[in-house]
Structure 1
């Protein structure tokens, strides 16, 4: 039996252009999302929070999750989330339906670096150390081929030691670059999600206690209609 692979995804929960009520919903949904992830033994870390105007509210939150079967887990969350309730900030407001969105952020590249993606080049060291340093090609230039990120290490006279240090520093530099790009990507994609779609919500919550509104799976009304139609047909015969 094939073993499930651990994957990493980045999820954004956003109120879009929504008011304080939607920001309150984002904060509530974030708590429930993390609780659900924990129950499924999915690891998570919060990458970013944009606080709302009111205390305890969030304009958006970005979460990185890692685990198996993430697609199945996310299928129950991604999309539009609806909350039905009275505003705590504007109790007399007529609106009772509030919407937020949960989206997957497109990742530019993974944080793990495979050895096959690193190009090592030996080069002569420069700087203090005399003629011996200049003659021996002990320095190492390491290049991450997918991103063309480079580091040059000449700390040691040992080429092997410099190669080990080069990989460590290259990973750090690639991750720093990834973080910058990720923040830019989050900002750009958040702007694309400002207008939340209100039709066919993935989940619906209700009331100040934020309980999920479960869909009626008994089909009682449908069965009643079918039963009535069947009785009519039997009478006609």
Structure 2
């Protein structure tokens, strides 16, 4: 399972706008290459199409590698999926005049991409699942089955509840993914002060060397130093 997280970090609304523009670009790339893209979770802002973070699942459930004659095709498509996701990993820069603060002199807005290649066979280890009835707005479309799922990491007690998908199976899968992300965040929050300072220094260095640079309101790519830069062609 390939997850890609785009984040504006602690940046202002312009950085959140850059994340939204990057999302649209990735969606276009996936459509052109026939790669499935699922938006797992978003942290939105009050502004339209501006996100503090976006978690994407790239190439999810697209192919069945168990069919012999599809094995080669599966391998090639899987490689294509990884290349696309890897091309968005690292610190990126959007150079544009702010549309929210017209007199603001700053034009450099940074955001980042982080790739997670998850072994799905390990997702459910140490995790307990509990089904419950999904809430609804009422009317004929209310979900009356126990399709909502709560996933709990036994060792830490960390849990997430998911009811956004229509089936219990889909909610269980999504809950596993979100729980993984939450555990990663918990680990990050427990970093010592020294580690935090070291991470901040690393971030400042990365800001000075973006893997991609986009310009203007049309978010035009004019510099690409990513590992798989050919994916944009």
> Structure 2 length normalisation: TM-score?
0.56
**2:58–2:85 contact (8 Å) kept in structure 1:** no
2:218 is equivalent to residue 209 of structure 1: yes
Residue segments in structure 1 that go unaligned for 5+ positions in a row:
1-7, 114-143, 152-169, 216-237
Q: Report 1:121-200 matches (<5 A).
A: 146-147=125-126, 149=128, 175=173, 178-179=176-177, 181-185=179-183, 187-188=185-186, 196=203, 197-200=206-209
What number of residue pairs does the alignment pair up?
Answer: 159
**2:86–2:115 contact (8 Å) kept in structure 1:** no
2:24 is equivalent to residue 27 of structure 1: no
In structure 2, the residue matched to 1:41 is 34
In structure 1, the residue matched to 2:58 is 65
Matches of 1:92 and 1:148 in 2, distance apart? 51
Pairwise CA distance, 1:105: 3.3
Q: Indicate the structure (1 or 2) with the bigger Cα radius of gyration.
A: 1
RMSD: 3.6
**2:40–2:174 contact (8 Å) kept in structure 1:** no
> Structure 1 length normalisation: TM-score?
0.56
Residue segments in structure 2 that go unaligned for 5+ positions in a row:
60-76, 131-167, 225-233
Deviation per residue, 1:192-236 (Å, 9 max, x gap): 999653122121110112111147xxxxxxxxxxxxxxxxxxxxx
**1:105–1:186 contact (8 Å) kept in structure 2:** no
Query: Structure 1 residues 204 and 149, CA, compared in 2 at 3 Å: closer, same or farther?
Result: same
